[in-house]
Amino acid sequence: MTDQPGNLTVHPESGRGGAAAGDLLSHALSQIRLTGDHVYSCSVAAGEHLERLVGAGHICVITEGAMTIAGDGHERFAVETGDLVLLTAAADNLRLVTSGSPATAVVCRFWIGPDSLQGMTFALPRCIHIKRTESAKWLDGLVRYMLLEAEDTQPGASLMISRLIDLMVIRTLRCWAHQGQIFGWLGGLSDARIARALKAIHQHPMQSWSIEELADICGMSRSSFCERFAALVGRAPLRYQKELRLTLAREMLAKPNARVGEVGFSAGYKSEAAFSRAYKAFFGHPPRQAQNGAVLSPDDGAPRHAG
């Protein structure tokens, strides 16, 4: 049985600024570049399925009636009134289908940027189902507010919608994390020992951690720590840190007057050439292309591997 920490939002020690000074879940989620762009209510006739835009993620809240999730190789299950379903872009083959009666749903559409930390997005399943009993305290009010903003034509309405969808996704992931049936970096947070290693890596991402140091923080043997970390997070500990470093380096490169060599040194590389090779292997383009906030196409910005 996985040990559950008392609080999935593991707080690092105070005294540090920026995202790393907040809770670990927030810092991890901040590495996912998410943009929400549309909220709407729709009715689905009996025997029909909910239309979704291919390539986008969707959160669907059933406000009336019931639907069924169906798709190749996926277990069918019912989604009742008040339930929430999050479907990532990888869930294009899954369908929300009505049965003998029509249903109504509120849909939030979002996009995950191609330059998001690879380990973060790969940890998300295609489908997350949150039942009404698990979300009643926060979901109803948030949905009502989102629909009000969706009807608002005042300046700033689009930004407000995007931020509210961010909130909806984060709240859904936090609720899902507390269910315990999780994997990837969220799975790591669900294990009290591995969460301590993740906390240390995120609090001091540029430190030259060794396996022995991280295992000692967790109170585990070297072999047990490596096996447990890889099983839960989906990556070896030092590879996870390397991908995090490269993602943080990309953010540093976007700042004015950033220098590739200095950023590479800050990210733990002994030479600009070594940093450039690792960066290109992971993101698919050289670091100079990311300087000063250069706009990247989806193909150019997609992370690959940390090599």
Residue 222 falls within a domain, yes or no? yes
Residues 74, 172 within the same domain: yes
Residue 140 pLDDT > 80, yes or no? Answer: yes
Residue 93 has pLDDT above 50, yes or no: yes
In a domain, 77, yes or no: yes
Query: Could you tell me if 243 and 214 lie in one domain?
Result: no
Tell whether 10 is covered by a domain: no
More confident position, 95 or 118:
95
Reported as a pLDDT band with limits 50, 70 and 90, residue 156 is confident
User: Looking up tokens 């990532």, which residue turns up?
Assistant: 88
| pTM score | 0.61
Domain end, chosen from 164, 179, 194, is at: 179
290 SS3 class: helix
Domain end, chosen from 179, 199, 219, is at: 179
Domain that holds residue 265: 238-301
Backbone φ, ψ for residue 31 (5° rounding):
-85, 0
Least trusted range by pLDDT, from 115-129, 197-211, 233-247, 262-276: 115-129
pLDDT at 80 over 60: yes
For residues 294 and 287, give the distance between their C-alpha atoms in angstroms, rounded to a whole number: 10
- One domain for residues 269 and 198: no
pLDDT tens digits for range 165-183: 988 988 888 888 777 655 5
Which helix (DSSP H) or strand (DSSP E) does residue 69 occupy?
strand 67-71
Q: Is the pLDDT of residue 303 over 60?
A: no
From 194, 210, 237, the end of a domain falls on: 237
Residue 307, pLDDT above cutoff 70 = no
Please give the residue that has the higher pLDDT: either 107 or 282: 107
**Same-domain pairing of 88 and 164:** yes
Co-location of 134 and 251 in the same domain: no
42 & 149 share domain? yes
Is residue 3 assigned to a domain?
no
Query: Is 70:85 a contact under the CB 8 Å cutoff?
Result: no
Specify the amino acid at residue 233: V
Q: pLDDT band at 65, cuts 50/70/90? A: very high
Residue range 141-149: average pLDDT?
A: 90
CA distance 3 to 1: 6
Percent of the chain, pLDDT > 70? 76
Q: Is 67 helix (H, G, I), strand (E, B) or coil?
A: strand
d(CA 93, CA 74): 9
CATH number of 210's domain: 1.10.10
Q: Is the same domain home to 174 and 248?
A: no
Same-domain status, 166 and 49: yes
Among 151, 172, 18, 203, which residue's Cα sits nearest to residue 84?
172
Name residue 106's beta-bridge partners. Answer: 41, 61
**Does residue 12 lie in a domain region?**
no
Return the pLDDT at 6: 37
pLDDT level of residue 295 (50, 70, 90 thresholds): very low
Does residue 188 lie within any of the structural domains? yes
Domains in the chain, number: 3
* Number of other CB atoms surrounding residue 210 within 10 Å: 12
> How do beta strands 84-87 and 57-64 pair?
antiparallel
DSSP output for 35-93: EEEEEEEEEE-TT-B----TT-EEEEEEEES-EEEEETTEEEEEE-TT-EEEE-GGGTT
CA proximity to 62, closest of 141, 161, 5, 130: 130
Q: Which residues contact 20 (CB under 8 A, 6 or more apart)?
A: 12, 27, 202, 203, 205
Specify if 11 maps to a domain. no
Average pLDDT value for the chain: 79
In angstroms, rounded to a whole number, what is the distance separating the alpha carbons of residues 193 and 220? Answer: 8
> Each residue of 32-48: pLDDT tens digit?
777 888 999 999 999 89
146: domain CATH number is: 2.60.120.280
In a domain, 17, yes or no: no
The set of residues, in sequence order, having a beta carbon less than 8 Å from that of 134 and lying 6+ positions away, is 175, 179
User: Residue for token digits 């994390």?
Assistant: 177
Strand partners, 111: 35
Kindly state whether residues 286 and 211 are assigned to the same domain: no
Total residue count of the chain as it appears in this document = 307
At 105 the three-state DSSP class reads strand
Domain of 284, CATH number, reads 1.10.10.60
Q: Say whether both 224 and 260 belong to one domain.
A: no
Whether the pLDDT of residue 302 is over 80: the answer is no
Q: Kindly state whether residues 133 and 227 are assigned to the same domain.
A: no
Residue 11: predicted pLDDT: 37
Are both 268 and 195 inside the same structural domain? no
